[in-house]
Amino acid sequence: MIDYVVQQTLNALSFGAEYALIALGLAIVFSIMGLVNFAHGEVIAIGGYSMMVMAAIAFKNPIIIIVGAIFAAVIMAIFLERIAFRPVRYADATTGLLTAFGVSLILQNLFLLLVSPRPIAVTSMYFLDWPIKLGTIRISSLQIFETLATLLAILLLVLFLKRSFLGIAMRAASLDFEMVRLMGIRANRVIATAFAISGLLAGIAAIFIIARRGAVDPTLGFNPVLKAFVACVVGGFGSLPGAVLGGFLLGALEVGMLVILPQSYGGMKDAFVFAVIAIILVWRPEGILSPQKEKGDKI
């Protein structure tokens, strides 16, 4: 019984790590420019497709494939910012959200048109996955890698934001974008960095997703991003700690629902998860860890 509890807790942790990783990518962009980037899922998919391409042209070295996939995701994220999101940079959040939905739709269908509507096997990341025995518990190395990678990513991100000039500028930008511009830091550079980081996180997520699924298809990123988006919202819009918290909370919630709900209601898992999300939002409309805005007299 203890084994079971430990096992499911570990599962919840690794589910949460994946959501947190993706949610962080969404949150960093949102915090800087208020954009809910639904096309983040397709950035993940680009990571997957680039692995497919690299495997097909006989790159066998896993390091090359990993670096290449992350690189592809970063380039894609920066490219999307330049092409689609820069024109709506100062528009309201709804315009940004709908633009992102549109971009997501275009990319999904481009994958379908240019590659295939069916899943394509990509097995080059299987090597990351082997069983590990911890006493009586067996877990997958992938779960550990994923949790560790997420924690590492968070740590590096915190260091970057606290120590580097660009990072400090980004933190300032998330509080008051105009001020940063007035200080002479180019908005383009700050935003491009935010997208590059989100692409980097998407690339890492892509590696773990592919390592587990062993296949890539056009809608690969849609569901994870929908969940991560929810995680972001629950944690608090644009709050990076909130995104991480929301991700792990959602992971726990999902595994918890599978464990708690009777099997005949297992299929309703999503309904329950989303109902909890709605309740949290009604309780705290800005999310759990939302940055509290100082209300001045300039209304």
Partner 1 sequence: MKIFQSSKSFHQAFWGATLLSFIIALIGLLVIFFGERYHLRLVYAAYVNLLVVLGLQVFMGNTNITNLSHSAFMGLGAYIAAICVTPVQIKKLSLPDAPWGLNTFELDALSSALISLTLTGFLAFLTGLVIVRLSGIGATIVTIAILVIVHSIFMHRTDIFKGKQAFFGIPQVFDLTSIIIISIAVIFIARFFRESKWGIQLRASSDDEKSADAMGVNIFKLRLLAWTLGGLILALSGICYAYYLGTISARPFYFSHVFLTLAMLILGGMRSITGAVIGTILITFGLEGVRFMETGPVILGLKFPEMLGLSGIALGAVIVIIMVVRNGGLVGNFEIEQVFIKTRKKI
Partner 2 sequence: MKLDCISKNFGGVKAVSQVSLEIGEGDVLGLIGPNGAGKSTLINLITGLLTPDVGKIFLSNLDITSQKPYQRARLGLARTFQNLRIYPNLSVGQNIEVASISSNYSSRTMNFDLDKIINIFDLEDKIDLASEELSYGHLRRLEIVRALALNPLVLLLDEPAAGMNENETKELSNSLKWVQNNIACAIIVIDHDLKFIMGVCDKITVMNMGEVIASGKPNEISNNKRVKEAYIGH
Partner 3 sequence: MKPFFKKISISMFASFLAIPVYADTIKVGFPVPLTGEYAPYAEIQGAKCMAEIINNKGGVNGKKFELLVQDTGTDTQTAISLTEKFLDQGVVAIGTIPFSDTMIPVAQIAAGYGVTILQAQSTQVEMHTGIVDNFISNVSPDPFTAAAAAEYALSEGVKNVVLLTSDDGGSWSAKTPLWFGEVIENGGGKVLSKMNFSIPTSDWSPQIAEMKKLSSSPDAVYISSIMPDVGVLVRQMKAAGIDAWVFGSDGLDDPSLDSVADSDKSILDKVAFGTLAPSQPGSAMQEFQAECKALGMPVDGMFPALGADVIMALAYAVEKTGGTDPVAIREALRSADSIPVRTVESVSFKNNKSHAERTVPVIGFKNGVRVLLSNAIPTFVPNWK
Residue 128 CB, nearest approach to partner 1 (Å): 31
Distance (Å, whole) CA 228 – CA 234: 10
Question: Residue 255, interface with partner 3 (CB under 8 A)?
Answer: yes
Question: Is residue 7 within 8 Å of 227, Cβ to Cβ?
Answer: no
**At 184, which amino acid appears?**
G
Q: Who contacts 88 (Cβ-Cβ below 8 Å, separation ≥6)?
A: 35, 95, 96, 99
Question: Residue 299, interface with partner 2 (CB under 8 A)?
Answer: yes
- Chain residues that interact with partner 1, rule: CB under 8 A: 36, 84, 87-88, 91-95, 97-99, 101-113, 117, 226, 229-230, 233, 237, 265, 267-271, 274-275, 277-278, 281-282, 285-287, 299
Q: Which residue of 102, 106, 152, 266 would you call a contact of partner 3, by CB under 8 A?
A: 266
Question: Is residue 252 within 8 Å of 11, Cβ to Cβ?
Answer: no
Per-position x/- string for 181-220, each x denoting binding to partner 2 as judged by CB under 8 A, each - no binding: ----------------------------------------
Question: Residue 92, interface with partner 2 (CB under 8 A)?
Answer: no
Query: Encoding tokens for residue 49?
Result: 């497709």
Nearest to 20 by CA among 274, 164, 210, 204: 204
Question: Is residue 146 within 8 Å of 18, Cβ to Cβ?
Answer: yes
Residues in region 270-299 near partner 3 by CB under 8 A: 270
222-235 vs 40-56: helix axis angle to the nearest 10? 140
Nearest to 223 by CA among 78, 15, 76: 15
Q: Which residue of 86, 89, 171, 269 would you call a contact of partner 3, by CB under 8 A?
A: 269
Question: Residue 293, interface with partner 2 (CB under 8 A)?
Answer: no
Choice between 98 and 144, CB closer to partner 1: 98
DSSP assignment letter at 264? G
Q: Which of the stretches 42-50, 152-160, 179-187, 205-213 binds partner 3 when contact is defined by CB under 8 A?
A: 205-213
Total of residues contacting partner 2 (CB under 8 A) = 6
Question: Residue 117, interface with partner 3 (CB under 8 A)?
Answer: yes
Q: Which of the stretches 157-165, 184-192, 252-260, 273-281 binds partner 3 when contact is defined by CB under 8 A?
A: 252-260
Distance (Å, whole) CA 262 – CA 258: 8
Q: Who contacts 115 (Cβ-Cβ below 8 Å, separation ≥6)?
A: 49, 52, 218
Question: Residue 285, interface with partner 2 (CB under 8 A)?
Answer: no
